[in-house]
Amino acid sequence: MFISFEGTEGVGKSTLIATLHQILSQRYAVVLTREPGGTPLAEKIREILLQPNQEKMSDSTELLLIYAARAQHVEQVILPALQQNKIVLCDRFVDASIAYQYGGRGMDREKIDILTQNFVKQLPEITFWLDAPVALGMQRAQKRGELDRFEQEKLEFFNGVRVAYQELAEQEPDRIVRIDATQRPEEIAAQALELIEQRLKHKNS
């Protein structure tokens, strides 16, 4: 089962993923991975994408680097793990490109969809979208220390990202599950776990 996690900065994605990984690993084979990244080559591309002090990166370059990393990650990590019947927990996936590059940067959504159609062979079965007011998440992200190239963006950018996640959740209600990220971490984890168990049961019956 392929599960991805989405949301704007500071909504508690990492905490949720770590908790689910710990619990699910007791009973299943689980692969924990992330985007951009997940293989040594894709992690190098991640560094380029997140590094703030460089020449201004064009939106097209950003999008293509993200998909270069994704192609490597899908082929090297995600597909092999799914073929071995493992649970894949992926911190961000294609929805992040629609949210950030379309919703945030204002790129043409069709350009992104074409890349997905051509280079992504598998979409997640469940996508948890952790949703909280953008300002709240930005405060949390700022407390973590130095801001990366995306975290340095303004409130307006992240509002665009959030609106795009909302749009996606409305378009794909069976796959994308909104979780109120202002709840306590234990409540968030319990909701996610319940749905995963339900889907696993359904899949195996």
Q: Can you say which residues are annotated as belonging to the binding site for ATP?
A: 7-14
Least Å distance, CB 96 to ligand TMP, is 4
Question: Cβ(20)–Cβ(169) under 8 Å?
Answer: no
CB count within 10 Å of CB 183 equals: 15
User: What amino acid is encoded at 47 in this protein?
Assistant: E
Size of the residue set binding ligand TMP (CB under 6 A): 11
**Among the candidate windows 25-33, 81-89, 95-103, 129-137, which touches ligand TMP by CB under 6 A?**
95-103
Q: Which residues contact 75 (CB under 8 A, 6 or more apart)?
A: none
**Mask for 131-170, x = binds ligand TMP (CB under 6 A):** -------------------x--------------------
Token representation of residue 93:
């996936």
Q: Which is nearer to ligand TMP, 171 or 198 (CB)?
A: 171
Q: Which residues contact 20 (CB under 8 A, 6 or more apart)?
A: 89, 189, 192, 193, 196
Least Å distance, CB 188 to ligand TMP, is 17
Contact pick of 90, 92, 138, 192 for ligand TMP (by CB under 6 A): 92
Least Å distance, CB 101 to ligand TMP, is 6
Q: ∠ CA(160), CA(98), CA(164), 5° rounding? A: 35
Contact pick of 31, 96, 115, 130 for ligand TMP (by CB under 6 A): 96
Least Å distance, CB 92 to ligand TMP, is 4
SS (H, E, C) 4-35: EEECCCCCCHHHHHHHHHHHHCCCCCEEEEEC
Least Å distance, CB 25 to ligand TMP, is 21
Q: How far is CA 59 from CA 63, 89, 178, 192, in A?
A: 6, 27, 28, 33
Residues numbered 113-132 forming contacts with ligand TMP, rule: CB under 6 A? none
**Among the candidate windows 77-85, 88-96, 114-122, 185-193, which touches ligand TMP by CB under 6 A?**
88-96
Q: Which is nearer to ligand TMP, 33 or 97 (CB)?
A: 97
CB count within 10 Å of CB 194 equals: 10
Report the interface residues with ligand TMP, using CB under 6 A: 34-36, 66, 91-92, 96-97, 100-101, 150
